[in-house]
């Protein structure tokens, strides 16, 4: 990590997300336990692009209870209508085992425009499914640029950064700022050509701000007055 960026969080808050199909659990993306011990923050496409729309999902944090990986089944999810961000609801029993520690909380990118941020995600290259090894990797992102995009329901705020290490498994992984506050969710991997002549191709990543997800939370005042925030929810089976 960069010498000016200080992050101290429990590594068990970072999850690898699995989808079940053809009797096999396959890793489909990343996430983190966020705001509550039974919620996982991730990218919308990690949920919606799984092989079958009704495939069960599971969150695993890489810790073991004996020889068994600690996991929690996903029972429902919220997704933003037109921004690539989602929240997964975990089973009560599973979340006690998986999320028995402090979840991550939101932060703002402006607190880190000089310090940089940390990107966390499931690294396929370092993992070995045959051996039951699932590795989450942390990378320091020293510089990033901000981009605003107009959406039908609200404006989207994105961060873009150089990421030669990034791959598909990082989708849904968090961007963390000073102290471990969550700034954004990794939603896209792409390439850009830099320089002249033959050019130099390098990987780049894009993350979306967490604030559209925060809009899905009801305050105690809103709950007591019966205010409803539009949400798109779906149920996921557990196997």
Q: Where do the structural domains in the chain lie, given as residue ranges?
A: 11-103+230-235, 109-214
Q: Per CATH, the architecture of 109-214 is what? A: Beta Barrel (2.40)
| Percent of the chain with pLDDT strictly greater than 90 | 25
* Low-confidence residues of the chain: pLDDT under 50: 1-2, 193-201, 227-232, 237-239
pTM score, two decimals?
0.85
Q: Do domains 11-103+230-235 and 109-214 have the same CATH topology?
A: yes
Q: What is the CATH number of domain 11-103+230-235?
A: 2.40.10.10
pLDDT of residue 127: 84
Give CA–CA dist 48/214, Å, rounded: 20
Cβ within 8 Å of residue 6, ≥6 positions away = 178, 179
pLDDT of residue 191: 67
pLDDT of residue 81: 86
Cβ within 8 Å of residue 228, ≥6 positions away = none
pLDDT of residue 227: 46
Helices (H), the chain: 44-48, 92-98, 211-214, 220-224
């Amino acid at each position: 990590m960069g010498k000016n960026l200080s992050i101290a969080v429990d590594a068990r808050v970072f999850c690898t997300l699995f989808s079940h199909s053809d009797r096999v659990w396959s890793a489909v993306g990343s996430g983190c336990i966020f705001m509550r011990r039974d919620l996982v923050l991730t990218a919308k496409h990690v949920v919606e692009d799984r092989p079958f729309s009704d495939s069960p999902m599971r969150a695993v944090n890489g810790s073991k209870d004996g020889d068994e990986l600690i996991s929690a089944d996903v029972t429902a999810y919220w997704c933003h209508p037109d921004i690539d961000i989602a929240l997964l609801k975990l089973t009560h029993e599973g979340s006690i085992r998986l999320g028995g520690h402090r979840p991550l909380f939101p932060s703002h990118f402006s607190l880190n425009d000089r310090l940089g941020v940390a990107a966390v995600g499931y690294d396929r290259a370092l993992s070995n499914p045959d051996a039951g090894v699932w590795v989450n990797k942390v990378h320091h992102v020293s510089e990033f640029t901000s981009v605003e995009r107009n959406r039908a329901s609200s404006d989207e705020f994105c961060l873009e950064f150089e990421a030669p290490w990034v791959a598909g498994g990082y989708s849904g992984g968090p961007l963390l700022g000073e102290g471990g506050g969550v700034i954004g969710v990794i939603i896209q991997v792409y390439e850009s050509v830099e320089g002249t002549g033959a050019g130099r191709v390098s990987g780049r990543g894009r993350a979306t701000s967490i604030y559209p997800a925060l809009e899905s939370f009801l305050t105690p005042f809103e709950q007591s007055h019966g205010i409803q925030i539009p949400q798109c929810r779906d149920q996921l089976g557990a196997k």
